[in-house]
Amino acid sequence: MAPIRAALVGYGLAGKVFHAPLLQVVNGVELAAVVSSDPAKVRADLPNVAVVAAMDEILADSAIDLIVLATPDHLHAGQAIAALDAGKHVVIDKPFAVTIEDARKVIERAERHAGHVFVFHNRRWDADFLTLQSLVAAGELGEVMHFESHFDRMRLEAGERWKDKRTGGVWQDLGPHLVDQALHLLGTPEAVWADIAIQKKGGHAPDYAHVVLRYAQTRAVLHLSQLAPDHRLRFLVHGKNGSYVKQGLDVQEEQSKSGIAPHEASWGIDPIEGTLTCTDGSTRAITNQRGRYQAFYENVRDCLRGSAVPDVPPDHALAVMEILQAAQESARERREIPILAK
């Protein structure tokens, strides 16, 4: 079958470190073009890929099937709608959009054109999250009562990048990862409570978020801080049969930054084992499954060929947006926000 020809819009961190390497290794997908204002930067990494200055050029190219948006948040909705209007399918880096209203507009436009929209919730394929899911599925933890997910860092100075000034701050940046994992594992909560704050001196946007998703019995705690000297904790999960504790972040982002490609033997192998503690006090090390961000684009390929359904369908991405917005409302109004059952 002819390859799916993709054009990548944007070549900052998301485009360079995440999307471009994955698009190059998935069989049946071809990275055909990159839209960038810095062609020298792209050509240094991708000498055989066309570089164009404007998105309009690839929208007019009938040979392009898929547009991948690795652009600032505020551009996502408008660019996605333009791509769908041009008859393209779209991958949008998280967050889906700045507002839930914009996200809904994109979904409506996709439905009108019978186009596919995929949101890049790649951390479903983190090594440790895949491992946690397997433990839950095997009954090793029993019914999960407490799910705690951290994405902490130590960055003392307030940054000056657009990401450091984005609306919603760290919650809008990294919160989508934690929310999507929580919803994928536990389903939709009954309510959300959040504390979101600027803790850095001279900070432009929130750099701290502590969010609690309330289920009937279970509680999910999502924590983000950029002022955590000890930022090793990733997961702390208590179930009726056991507890799982994992330290250290998934390695795929850092591997890509260091030049390791997704097809190499070491890709996705997280050497930091988790610990399972049983109710009798016994413990054992839990080896991680292999992380596979490329699985996202394998699913995109299969969906466009008609042989699969989306792993991250639009309604999942919209559910993430609903939680992101509810948390911001909770922090602003200092109250719990109910989540209406669908």
Q: What is the pLDDT of residues 133-146, one digit of tens each?
A: 999 999 999 999 99
Q: Specify the pairing of strand 4-9 against strand 66-69.
A: parallel
Q: Span 316-339, mean pLDDT?
A: 97
And the tokens for 200?
């850095």
What's the CA gap between 177 and 121, in Å, rounded?
6
Ranges of CATH 3.30.360.10 domains, the chain:
124-291+323-338
Ranges of CATH 3.40.50.720 domains, the chain:
4-120
pTM to 2 decimals? 0.96
pLDDT, tens digit (0-9, with 9 covering 90-100), for 272-303:
999 999 999 999 999 999 999 999 999 999 99
CATH superfamily entry for domain 124-291+323-338: Dihydrodipicolinate Reductase; domain 2 (3.30.360.10)
What residue type is 152 in one-letter code?
Answer: D
CATH class held by domain 4-120: alpha beta
Sheet-wide strand order for 89-93: 50-52, 29-35, 4-9, 66-69, 89-93, 117-120
Q: Specify the pairing of strand 89-93 against strand 66-69.
A: parallel
Dihedral over alpha carbons 13, 290, 280, 216 (to 10 degrees): 50
Higher-confidence residue: 59 or 160? 59
What's the CA gap between 89 and 82, in Å, rounded?
11
